[in-house]
């Protein structure tokens, strides 16, 4: 019989630091010892980490100091177990190891302790706790694939950092250009640090421009529109003869226009991008069609939107772009939801979520949780809706996806009352204002009036 798993955030932090032991006397420490590293390793939002490490320091279980961090240019505050914290972390690990869960593996079902699973399959206790905390059930086929992909992403980032530090610019650049999916994970800020080291100012080689595109996309992800726009304008002016690069830069400029509410400008940029992508056979073409579908939907033209989405879905499949396929399922789900076909919407969203989990695509997961919340809200199931909105908020905060943080706060506020509702709406408004998302700000102002 499976046992309930209830570890506090503080207990999880102690376990994380025990698994990634660093010593305060060391001059350079790993990213796992920082708040961002703890947040990423545990899959919880950084605000919770910040709150709980202060409590743990107050209890003399942790100590902290500012350190050089491997592969990062700036020093960060790092956290270390005290002797008392080390003893408590070992006690927590000992008790957690004996927790029994139901394991589904190769068609068989059996009950095992987490320690036995860890020894047999080689996964860390923290990863196992994270996977079965809600249900007490561990599906090894699904968990194994997701865990391997996540660990692979961490290893790639570690490799790029080592190459940068060693001065192997060519190999570091090639590795980064071939792993752009990392932009959709918790490594986004680290990627920007890497590009700062690798971009050669004023040099308009194709490699340099590709690095600028990566840095621009990372800044879009973080809501730094001005910096992203500056980088993209440089690429556009330097790559007019390279239709593939030009198409991608024009597309990302269209994304910025869309995100800041300038829909007509976004359509204009996307038409330019579409023409260039068509000529070059660029893999950005389905992304352009996908965003044109979103803009058609925003204007109320559902038929055109569905045509764009279906075209994008087929193109994503032809490129074997799993992230893109997930994106298309999401948008088709939104159209189904708009037409009150809520079960079809759930089917499309669920298909997207399975792909996003398989890819460890936290950005898409944050968005799709919000969409699932919207459907359950329409189905008059507020508890399920609130559960998904909170999952969206937690995931978005973990990866610093600011627009989705604001969107989740807004949706949770609509299901809340009194001062809590007003507080969340104020937080949402503040973030939307910083991002220049004027239409979203107006939406909230209309509610407050």
pLDDT digits (tens, 9 = 90+) for 103-122: 876 667 788 888 777 766 65
Residue 305 and residue 339 in contact, taking contact as beta carbons nearer than 8 Å: no
Residue 13 and residue 38 in contact, taking contact as beta carbons nearer than 8 Å: yes
Q: Region 392-417: what's the mean pLDDT?
A: 89
Q: Give 329's pLDDT tier (boundaries 50, 70, 90).
A: very high
Q: What CATH class does 9-152 carry? A: mainly alpha
Per-residue pLDDT for 45 more than 80? no
Predicted local confidence at residue 92, as pLDDT = 87
pLDDT digits (tens, 9 = 90+) for 215-234: 998 888 888 889 999 999 99
- φ/ψ of 50, rounded to 5, equals -60, -45
Predicted local confidence at residue 449, as pLDDT = 66
Per-residue pLDDT for 202 more than 50? yes
Bigger pLDDT: 2 vs 341: 341
Per-residue pLDDT for 432 more than 60? yes
Q: Which of the listed ranges 42-46, 205-209, 240-244, 251-255 does the model predict with the highest average pLDDT?
A: 251-255
Rg for the chain (alpha carbons), in Å? 23
Bigger pLDDT: 100 vs 268: 268
Report the share of the chain in percent with pLDDT over 90.
33
Q: Region 37-48: what's the mean pLDDT?
A: 73
Give the burial class of 131: count Cβ atoms within 10 A of its Cβ; 0-12 exposed, 13-18 middle, 19 or more buried.
buried
Across 2-121, the runs of DSSP E, i.e. the strands, are 28-29, 62-69, 76-81, 100-105, 108-113
pLDDT digits (tens, 9 = 90+) for 277-300: 988 888 899 999 999 999 999 888
Least confident of 43-47, 77-81, 193-197, 312-316: 43-47
Predicted local confidence at residue 145, as pLDDT = 54
Q: Edge-to-edge strand order for the sheet containing 108-113?
A: 108-113, 100-105, 137-139
Q: Region 252-266: what's the mean pLDDT?
A: 93
Per-residue pLDDT for 148 more than 60? no
Q: Give 375's pLDDT tier (boundaries 50, 70, 90).
A: very high
Across 25-107, the runs of DSSP E, i.e. the strands, are 28-29, 62-69, 76-81, 100-105
Per-residue pLDDT for 381 more than 90? yes
Predicted local confidence at residue 77, as pLDDT = 87
Predicted local confidence at residue 187, as pLDDT = 73
Report the share of the chain in percent with pLDDT over 70.
88
- φ/ψ of 135, rounded to 5, equals -105, -20
Question: What is the DSSP-derived secondary structure letter of residue 363?
Answer: H
Predicted local confidence at residue 143, as pLDDT = 57
Predicted local confidence at residue 314, as pLDDT = 93
- φ/ψ of 113, rounded to 5, equals -80, 155
Bigger pLDDT: 350 vs 137: 350
Bigger pLDDT: 272 vs 47: 272
Helix (H, G, I), strand (E, B) or coil at 389: helix
Q: How far apart are CA 236 and CA 255, in angstroms?
A: 15
| Biggest CA pair distance of the chain | 65
The domain ranges of the chain are: 9-152
C-alpha distance from residue 186 to each of 66, 191, 312, 318 (Å): 22, 10, 26, 28
Predicted local confidence at residue 67, as pLDDT = 85
Q: Which of 146, 143, 134 is nearest to 106 (CA)?
A: 143
Residue 118 and residue 124 in contact, taking contact as beta carbons nearer than 8 Å: yes
Per-residue pLDDT for 127 more than 90? no
User: How many of the other CB atoms lie within 10 Å of CB of 383?
Assistant: 8
Predicted local confidence at residue 230, as pLDDT = 93
Q: Give 371's pLDDT tier (boundaries 50, 70, 90).
A: very high
Q: Give 169's pLDDT tier (boundaries 50, 70, 90).
A: confident
Per-residue pLDDT for 323 more than 50? yes
Per-residue pLDDT for 271 more than 90? yes
Per-residue pLDDT for 1 more than 50? no
Q: Region 143-165: what's the mean pLDDT?
A: 67
Q: Region 321-347: what's the mean pLDDT?
A: 91
């Amino acid at each position: 019989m499976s046992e309930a798993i209830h570890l506090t955030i503080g207990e999880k932090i102690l376990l994380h630091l025990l698994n990634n032991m660093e010593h305060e006397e060391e001059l350079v420490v790993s990213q796992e010892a920082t708040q961002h590293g703890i947040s990423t390793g545990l899959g919880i939002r950084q605000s919770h980490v910040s709150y709980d490490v202060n409590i743990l320091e107050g209890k003399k279980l942790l100590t902290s100091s500012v350190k050089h961090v491997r592969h990062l240019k700036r020093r960060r505050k790092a956290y270390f177990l005290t002797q008392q914290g080390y003893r408590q972390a070992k006690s927590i690990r000992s008790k957690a190891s004996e927790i029994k869960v139901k394991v589904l593996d190769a068609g068989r079902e059996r009950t095992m302790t987490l320690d036995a699973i860890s020894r047999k399959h080689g996964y860390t206790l923290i990863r196992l706790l994270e996977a079965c905390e809600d249900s007490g059930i561990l599906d090894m086929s699904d968990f194994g694939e997701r865990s391997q992909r996540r660990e692979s992403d961490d290893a790639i980032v570690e490799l790029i950092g080592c190459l940068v530090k060693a001065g192997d610019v060519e190999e570091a650049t090639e590795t980064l250009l071939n792993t752009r999916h990392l932009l959709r994970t918790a490594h986004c800020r680290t990627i920007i640090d890497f590009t700062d080291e690798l971009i050669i100012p004023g040099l308009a080689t194709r490699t340099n421009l590709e690095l600028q595109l990566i840095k621009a996309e990372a800044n879009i992800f973080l809501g730094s529109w001005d910096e992203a726009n500056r980088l993209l304008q440089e690429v556009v002016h330097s790559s007019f003869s390279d239709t593939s690069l030009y198409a991608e830069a024009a597309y990302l400029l269209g994304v910025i226009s869309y995100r800041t509410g300038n829909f007509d400008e976004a359509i204009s940029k996307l038409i330019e991008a579409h023409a260039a992508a068509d000529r070059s056979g660029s893999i950005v073409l389905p992304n352009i069609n996908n965003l044109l579908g979103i803009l058609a939907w925003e204007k109320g033209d559902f038929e055109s939107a569905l045509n764009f989405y279906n075209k994008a879905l087929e193109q994503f499949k032809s490129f074997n772009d799993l992230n893109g396929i997930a994106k298309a399922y999401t948008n088709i789900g939104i159209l189904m939801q708009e037409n009150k076909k809520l079960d079809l919407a759930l089917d499309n969203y669920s298909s997207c979520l399975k792909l996003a989990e398989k890819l460890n695509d936290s950005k898409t997961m944050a968005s799709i949780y919000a969409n699932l919340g919207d459907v359950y809200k329409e189905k008059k199931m507020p508890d399920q809706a609130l559960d998904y909105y909170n999952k969206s908020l937690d995931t978005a905060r973990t990866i610093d996806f600011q627009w989705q943080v604001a969107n989740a706060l807004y949706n949770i506020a609509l299901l809340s009352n009194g001062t809590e509702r007003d507080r969340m709406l104020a937080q949402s408004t503040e973030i939307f204002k910083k991002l220049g998302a004027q239409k979203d700000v107006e939406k909230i102002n209309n509610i407050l009036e």
